[in-house]
């Protein structure tokens, strides 16, 4: 900025350096752009005196994230039969737990050339908020629910266990008869050997038929007990739902 001054009868031109003159052209352009394209937010002034807006969205998001409360969880692992895994997941979810993951063991091979055996159970990794409402009452209901689940599992396994025992018994008798057939054949008793061999084969066939019959009868016998256990489990879960609701 320049202005004229009269000194001792002589007019001289004097240049005054203002604050704006000390700002570089680049900084002045940035300040002008900030003043013209301001968005809603915190308002201040640039170095050149122009109004400018400071965006505090990032700062607000960071503060909001830092203000989230800490949640303490309790963790547990539950072993469930493979066939009853959906039932176990529903029960524990109804008690306030959330299933994090399901761990399935690798198949087991007894000998190098034998077929692999699939494990009969899986592991549920679960967690629950320690500050959940009515936690003590839910823990008591969980004990009752686990007792019902164990009873259901025991009744379900009893169906196959008895049928398997019958099949194994028939198989052992049939094997003994076939062994006797071989010994009598070596002794020259052909008729006896044939009779024993036929009886042994019939016992093997009887093991298959007996397994089917015993399994069906046992399933029909335990069906009412299973229904009662499922009804009792449903009552426990209804109580848990009222506590959580």
- Are residue 140 and residue 95 in the same domain, yes or no? no
Q: Where in the sequence is the domain holding 36, given as residue range(s)?
A: 2-50
The 10s digit of each residue's pLDDT in 33-76 is 545 444 444 444 444 444 544 444 444 555 455 567 888 899 99
- Are residue 94 and residue 145 in the same domain, yes or no? no
- Are residue 140 and residue 104 in the same domain, yes or no? no
- Are residue 121 and residue 153 in the same domain, yes or no? no
Return the closest-CA partner of residue 240 out of 32, 91, 76, 86.
91
In a domain, 59, yes or no: no
In a domain, 149, yes or no: yes
The total of other beta-carbon atoms located within 10 Å of residue 173's CB is 17
Return the closest-CA partner of residue 56 out of 76, 38, 71.
38
* H or E stretch at 158: helix 135-186
Q: Which residue has tokens 């052909």?
A: 190
- Are residue 186 and residue 154 in the same domain, yes or no? yes
Q: Which two tokens stand for residue 45?
A: 């002034």
Domain termination site, one of 132, 152, 170: 132
Question: What residues are paired with 128 via a beta bridge?
Answer: 74
User: How many angstroms separate the CA atoms of 53 and 160, rounded?
Assistant: 77
Q: Which two tokens stand for residue 11?
A: 């007019």
Structural domain total, the chain: 3
Q: Which two tokens stand for residue 127?
A: 């967690």
**Contact 43/64 with Cβ under 8 angstroms?**
no
User: How many angstroms separate the CA atoms of 17 and 2, rounded?
Assistant: 9
The 10s digit of each residue's pLDDT in 123-149 is 999 999 998 989 999 999 999 999 999
- Are residue 99 and residue 198 in the same domain, yes or no? no
In a domain, 33, yes or no: yes
In a domain, 64, yes or no: no
In a domain, 55, yes or no: no
pTM of the shown model: 0.62
């Amino acid at each position: 900025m320049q202005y004229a001054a009269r000194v001792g009868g002589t007019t001289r031109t004097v240049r005054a350096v203002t604050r704006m003159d000390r700002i570089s052209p680049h900084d002045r352009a940035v300040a002008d752009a900030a003043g013209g394209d301001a968005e809603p937010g915190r308002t201040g002034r640039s170095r050149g005196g122009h109004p400018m807006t400071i965006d505090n969205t990032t700062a607000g998001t960071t503060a909001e994230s830092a203000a989230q409360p800490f949640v303490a969880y309790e963790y547990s692992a539950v072993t469930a039969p493979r066939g009853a895994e959906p039932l176990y997941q529903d029960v524990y979810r109804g008690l306030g737990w959330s299933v994090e993951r399901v761990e399935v063991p690798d198949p087991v091979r007894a000998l190098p050339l034998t077929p692999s055996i699939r494990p009969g159970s899986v592991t549920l990794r679960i967690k629950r908020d320690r500050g959940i409402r009515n936690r003590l009452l839910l823990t008591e209901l969980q004990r009752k629910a686990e007792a019902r689940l164990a009873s259901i599992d025991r009744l379900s396994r009893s169906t196959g266990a008895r049928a398997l025992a019958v099949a194994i018994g028939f198989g052992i008798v049939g094997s003994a008869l076939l062994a006797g057939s071989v010994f009598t054949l070596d002794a020259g008793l052909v008729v006896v050997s044939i009779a024993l061999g036929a009886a042994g084969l019939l016992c093997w066939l009887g093991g298959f038929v007996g397994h089917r019959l015993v399994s069906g009868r046992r399933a029909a016998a335990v069906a009412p007990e299973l229904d009662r256990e499922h009804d009792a489990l449903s009552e426990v879960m209804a109580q848990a739902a009222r506590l959580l609701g």
